[in-house]
Amino acid sequence: MERSRRRIYLDHSLTIKICGITRVRDANAARDNGADIIGVVRAKSSKRFMDAKFSDSLVSMGFNVAGVYDDREYMKYNFSEEAYIQIHYPHQPEEISRMRKISGKKIISVIKAANVIDPEFRIEPYVREADLVLIEQKPRIITLLADLKPVHVNVGLAGGITPDDIPEIVRRGFQFVDLSSSLEVSPGIKDIKMLTRIGEVKSSLESFA
């Protein structure tokens, strides 16, 4: 029964973003274990803040980098060579288009789960404007999984996700996940064992695809 159940929900590709990277060794381990996007926090208020020099060094090494920003004005004048800009402050769909024009980058839009669950909220305009959308809830998005629906392949989840949460998230139909603090031994320092676990989980999913 378990095997047939897996065949239903593991027949999907999976995009994994690992955020809060502050060391090249962690970026390498993340990529080696299936990370598609490496997130570098460019929010100066964060303990995981890294400057443009670090972000650009990862880009020069071939990493697919997303710069994470929580301040519009700072982002306008400080984005660098990253492939994605992640808008991590309250915004309307029009802001996505505006930031794309300013930066020339692909956009990841972060929306609070509380907004998405509100019956008056419409996620479709965000999906149309952004390249990727993350529904976020801290400390644990997994606690709201039953209330969230995978409206599009480019809509994913963030917030305290562990490697072992991934199969259930995929079973619910989501194909994009963002992991960060659950992988750390301290802010910005990843546990290599946890990154390795991501690779193991992803391999187990792909073996049933």
Query: What is the model's pLDDT at position 208?
Result: 59
pLDDT per position as a tens digit, 55-80: 999 999 999 999 999 999 999 999 99
pLDDT tens string 136-147: 999 999 999 999
Does the pLDDT of residue 44 top 90, yes or no? yes
Q: 1-10: long-range contacts at Cβ-Cβ below 8 A with a sequence spacing of 24 or more? A: 3/208, 5/171, 6/167, 6/208, 7/208, 8/171, 9/167, 9/170, 9/171, 9/172, 9/173, 10/167, 10/170, 10/171, 10/205, 10/206, 10/208, 10/209
Say yes or no to pLDDT of 4 above 80. Answer: no
The overall average pLDDT reported for the chain is 93
Query: Model pTM?
Result: 0.93
Q: How confident is the model at residue 12 (pLDDT cuts 50, 70, 90)?
A: low
Q: By percentage, how much of the chain surpasses pLDDT 70?
A: 93
All domains of the chain, ordered by start, with CATH?
2-206 (3.20.20.70)
Q: What is the reported pLDDT for 209? A: 55
* Average pLDDT for 113-124: 97
Dist CA 114 CA 84 (whole Å):
24
